[in-house]
Chain A
Amino acid sequence: MINFSYIWNRYKIQFAIFFIFISFWLVFLILNPSAFLNLNTYTAIASYLPFSVIPALSLTYIMICGEIDLSFPSVMALASFVLAVTWKSMGGAHIIGVILALLAGLIAGLLNGVLVTKAKIPSMIATLATMFFWRGVVLVSSQGFGIPLGEFKGTVTYDFFVGRVFSFIPAQAIWMLIFTTLLWLILNRHIFGAHVYFTGDNRIAAEYMGINTRKILITVFALHGVISAFAGMLATLEMATFWPALGEAYLMKSIAIVVIGGTSIFGGSGTIIGTLIGGLTLGLIEMGLLAVGVAGFWINLVYGTIIIIALILQTVIRETEMKKALKEKIG
């Protein structure tokens, strides 16, 4: 038997976000029915949205741990650079390029994890440093030049990442759903996910109960590094060009997606589904504003407003919950 009142109580914030999502969709549908009844609109959203949503999914883990990562856009660029250089020098879309790129992401993630847990640098500062560091590595190595990758289009490896399934579903959207499922499964159904929550919720208690929170943190940062590397490759291949500034646009967007998705910046609570819905909401708004003919300059303004509304909504929901709990305690 499904306990609806329980589901409602537990996922109020996610329902609220979903409600925002649906209401925006309805507004856009009314304002520009021709665009929002057209499949191409959704194919367009599905082709660029995964680049910011996929890193946001693993960033959710980091934020549930009560930490932050600012370096992942640079890691996306680093991985893409490794991929582009390897493919160019090998003269083909070889799987080794992919492995090396993921490895670069793993190393960058591990470094973040070690800086935070062993050197005890607050993650905000540690990843600010590695953000500059890896961007610097990419800029120095590439000398600021892009690397065109159009010649590899149509190969199996290429289509594996960003091809079109049934000639209209972008493969990266499928990847987004695969990562969502996988990360949801680990977070909610696996012992690792349980320990991620405890690490963010009450680190002293977790340690006391025998959970190695340092190991959890390092693993979470490493995971985020690898997944960011993957997302970086997707973005590069979709554009068919490596460019050294890759990822810079996604930093604030991905953090915004996680926050809109209901993950607490204080750690201990958050959901993968919330992040996905948060991502869809932001993607839809961006596309919607363009489709109804609002100039691109407005997008940041609208983002800011949405984030504030979403956060106020979450605070209101949490406060009413706490008040209710307090009443129960006294009563």
Chain B
Amino acid sequence: MSIKARPKYIVETRNLIKRFGDVVALRGVNFKVGSNEVVGLVGDNGAGKSTLVKVITGTYAPDGGEIYVKGIRFKRLTPRKARELGIEIVHQERTIAENQSLWRNVFMGRELKGPLGFLRINEMKEITTKLLREMGFKSDISPEKLAKTLSGGYKQGVQISRAVYFRADLVILDEPTIQLSLKEVSKVLEFVKMLKKENKSCIFISHNIYHVYPVADKITIMDKGRIVAEFKKEDLTIDELSEVLMEVAETGDVPPRFKKLSTIPVTST
């Protein structure tokens, strides 16, 4: 049995810079996502979290630095290229067509088709049924159900299932728990755990560390376009993390007693 050499990081950025006119959104960001790692990306509004993932998914072209995907170096990515490389982003209910069935939603834009472009409907339904069970959907949710009848948490689940089916290696969740009820949030967190179990990597962006902390392996803190610190979950309790974030938001600096816990050299902004 041959073991394929797996790059250590699924995505790594080196010295990434992005400007919008006079505003510098990313100031030399070195961000790493390991394989089968769930990274919680946290930070205040305007910290650069969304800009960073938009560079990784190819929506923005960076003004400097490099992106490595599975060890391959890129100056910039396009959305298509990023998807081909196995990077999928899940937006807040954005890629769901409400009046269509779940199986149609799962296969949106990537339908399985036979000769002359006719749909392989039964196959898509069967795959969707299997996929939904695997991802822990309730058993009464059939692939024929219309998306609009699902709750927000399950809609996120459909998008995550889609990413799993199309063999994404890295699933990026951009504020997946925003506007969701408590019960729905726990549903989304279950889906993230499923991703981990399916051997995927994940970037979980959120304002709310109470959502990120339970599922993350690593917490990366951004502030004013920089990564200021990075902690392994086991090194920090959730209350300590909260303390660090408050301090970073107020002073732009990590409290001294946590500095040595960071897995990267702490920078201040």
- A residues near B (Cβ < 8 Å) are 6, 10, 189-192, 194-195, 197-198, 201-202, 204-206, 208-211, 264, 268-269, 321-322, 325, 328-329
Known: A10-B144, A194-B119, A328-B149. A210 touches B109 (CB 8 A): yes
Identify 16 new A-B residue pairs, CB closer than 8 A, beyond the known A191-B111, A202-B97: A6-B142, A190-B117, A192-B117, A197-B99, A198-B104, A198-B108, A204-B94, A205-B95, A205-B96, A206-B109, A208-B95, A209-B95, A209-B110, A210-B110, A269-B99, A321-B149
Q: Please measure, in the bound complex, the distance between the C-alpha atom of A269 and the C-alpha atom of B101, giving whole angstroms.
A: 11
Q: Which applies to chain A's interface (DSSP): helix, strand, loop or mixed? A: helix
B80: interface (CB < 8 Å): yes
Contact partner, A189, options B99, B119, B148, Cβ 8 Å? B119
Q: How large is the interface on B (under 10, 10 to 19, 20 to 34, 35 or more residues)?
A: 20 to 34
- Closest chain A residue to B148 by CB distance? A325
CB neighbours of B151 from chain A (8 A): 329
Q: Please measure, in the bound complex, the distance between the C-alpha atom of A328 and the C-alpha atom of B95, giving whole angstroms.
A: 22
Q: Min CB distance, B27 to chain A, in Å?
A: 29
B118: interface (CB < 8 Å): yes
Contact call A190/B118, Cβ cutoff below 8 A: yes
B98: interface (CB < 8 Å): yes
CB neighbours of A6 from chain B (8 A): 142, 144
- Closest chain B residue to A201 by CB distance? B97
Q: Please measure, in the bound complex, the distance between the C-alpha atom of A108 and the C-alpha atom of B44, giving whole angstroms.
A: 53
Contact partner, A191, options B94, B95, B97, B117, Cβ 8 Å? B117
Q: Min CB distance, B54 to chain A, in Å?
A: 13
Contact call B144/A209, Cβ cutoff below 8 A: no
B267: interface (CB < 8 Å): no
- B143-178 CB mask vs A (1 if < 8 Å, else 0) is 010001111000000000000000000000000000
B100: interface (CB < 8 Å): yes
- B residues near A (Cβ < 8 Å) are 79-80, 83, 94-100, 104, 108-111, 113, 116-119, 121, 142, 144, 148-151
Contact partner, B109, options A10, A209, A268, A329, Cβ 8 Å? A209
Q: Min CB distance, A319 to chain B, in Å?
A: 13
CB neighbours of A205 from chain B (8 A): 94-97, 108
Q: Min CB distance, A216 to chain B, in Å?
A: 11
CB neighbours of B150 from chain A (8 A): 329
Q: Min CB distance, A274 to chain B, in Å?
A: 14
Known: A10-B144, A189-B118, A325-B149. A201 touches B100 (CB 8 A): yes
Contact partner, B97, options A189, A192, A206, A210, Cβ 8 Å? A206
Q: Min CB distance, B78 to chain A, in Å?
A: 12
Q: Min CB distance, A188 to chain B, in Å?
A: 8
Q: Min CB distance, B122 to chain A, in Å?
A: 11
Q: Please measure, in the bound complex, the distance between the C-alpha atom of A328 and the C-alpha atom of B153, giving whole angstroms.
A: 13
Contact call A211/B109, Cβ cutoff below 8 A: yes
Q: Please measure, in the bound complex, the distance between the C-alpha atom of A210 and the C-alpha atom of B119, giving whole angstroms.
A: 17
CB neighbours of A211 from chain B (8 A): 108-109
Contact call B110/A202, Cβ cutoff below 8 A: no
Contact call A208/B117, Cβ cutoff below 8 A: no
Contact call B119/A268, Cβ cutoff below 8 A: no
Contact call B94/A208, Cβ cutoff below 8 A: yes
A-B contact pairs, 22 of them (CB 8 A): A189-B119, A189-B121, A190-B117, A191-B113, A191-B117, A192-B117, A194-B119, A197-B97, A197-B104, A198-B100, A198-B109, A205-B96, A205-B97, A206-B97, A208-B94, A209-B95, A211-B109, A264-B99, A268-B99, A322-B148, A329-B150, A329-B151
CB neighbours of B83 from chain A (8 A): 210
Q: Min CB distance, A328 to chain B, in Å?
A: 7
Q: Please measure, in the bound complex, the distance between the C-alpha atom of A213 and the C-alpha atom of B117, giving whole angstroms.
A: 17
